[in-house]
Amino acid sequence: MTLRTAVVTGASAGIGEAFAEALARNGVGLVLVARRQELLERVANRLRDRYGVHVEVLAADLSEPAGRAVVTARLSDSDHPVDLLVNNAGAGSGRPNLLADQPPDHLDDTIALNVTALVQLTRAAVSAMRERRSGAVLNVASVAAFLPQPQGAVYAATKAFVTSFTETVHCEMRQFGVRVVAVCPGFTRRGDAAERGGMRSSPMPAFLWLDREAVVRDALAALAAGRVVSVPSARYRLLLGAARLLPRRALRRGFERLWAAPR
C-alpha cells in the first residue's frame, strides 16, 4: 500500500506527534488534528522544514459534534484522498479515581473522544477507502483493554471497545482491501517536560515505560505486516501472556491491591 496522505489525530503532542514525525520522515503528507491550533502549527512548520512534506492543520475538538464534522468532511473529500487515518487522540483516565468519585462530565468527555469520535472518523475513512479499494485505519487502544483497571474504569472500558470494534471492522473491510489495526501500548513516555518531572516520582518501575518512537515503529510495522491487534514491545507481550495464564479471579485480586484507593 502506498501512503501519500495520512490524518493523525492528537498530533500536537505525545504519541500522535511521534506518528506525525515518523510518517513525514517517510515522505507521507499529513493532516494534523488537535484542539490547540498554535501547537499544531508549530509541529507542522517543523515537519515541513525538516522533511519537505505537505502538512495541513485542522484545529478541532473531537469530543464535540462540530469538531468531528470538520474531520469527517476532510476524510470524505474524494479530491484529496486520505490513505491512512491514525485515531490517536484519546482522553486519559484523568486523575486516577474511583468511578463513584469521578465527575460525570469527565466521563462523558472521555467516551465522546475515545469511542464516539473514533467510531465516526473510522466510518468516514473506511467508507471513502472502500470506494478506492485501498487504505488503512490505525486505532490507538491500550494494554488497559485487556485488564481490569481500578481507578480508570471508563478509560479501560473505552480501550476494550476500541480493540473489539477494530477487530470487527477489520473483518468487514478486508474484502475491500482496507486494513484496520488496533495498537495497544503500555505506559509510554509522552516526551514533555511535565511528564519528565512526574516520572521521577512515578511508582511504576522504569522497565514498564516505553519510548513513543518505539511504539510508533511497532504500530507501523504491525500495519505493514497486516496484524490486527498489536501490543508493542516484547516485555508487554510477555506480561499479557502471563496475565492470560492466571485465573481471572486472581488477576482481579492483584489489580485490586495494586490500585487500592486510600480509605
> Whose CA is closest to 140, among 65, 238, 210, 54?
210
* Strands 55-59 and 5-9, bridge-based pairing: unpaired
6/16 Cα distance (integer angstroms) = 12
> Whose CA is closest to 158, among 104, 96, 98, 90?
90
89 contacts ligand NAP (rule: CB under 6 A) = yes
- The catalytic position among 19, 146, 155, 165 is 155
**Cα pseudo-dihedral 157, 211, 121, 80, rounded to 10:** -170
Helix (H, G, I), strand (E, B) or coil at 181: strand
Give me 52's grid cell: 519537505
10 contacts ligand NAP (rule: CB under 6 A) = yes
The residue within the footprint of ligand NAP, chosen from 7, 58, 83, 90 (CB under 6 A), is 90
Q: How far is the CB of 226 from ligand NAP (least distance, A)?
A: 22
Q: Is 236 a catalytic residue?
A: no
63 contacts ligand NAP (rule: CB under 6 A) = yes
Lay out the site mask for ligand NAP across 181-220 (x = CB under 6 A, - = otherwise). ----x-xx-x------------------------------
Give me 30's grid cell: 499529513
Closer of 39 and 228 to ligand NAP (Cβ): 39
Can you name the residues that pair with 57 across neighbouring β-strands?
32
Lay out the site mask for ligand NAP across 110-129 (x = CB under 6 A, - = otherwise). ---x----------------
The contact set with ligand NAP (CB under 6 A) reads 9-16, 34-36, 39, 61-63, 88-90, 92, 113, 140, 142, 185, 187-188, 190
Q: Where in the sequence numbering do the catalytic residues fall?
A: 155
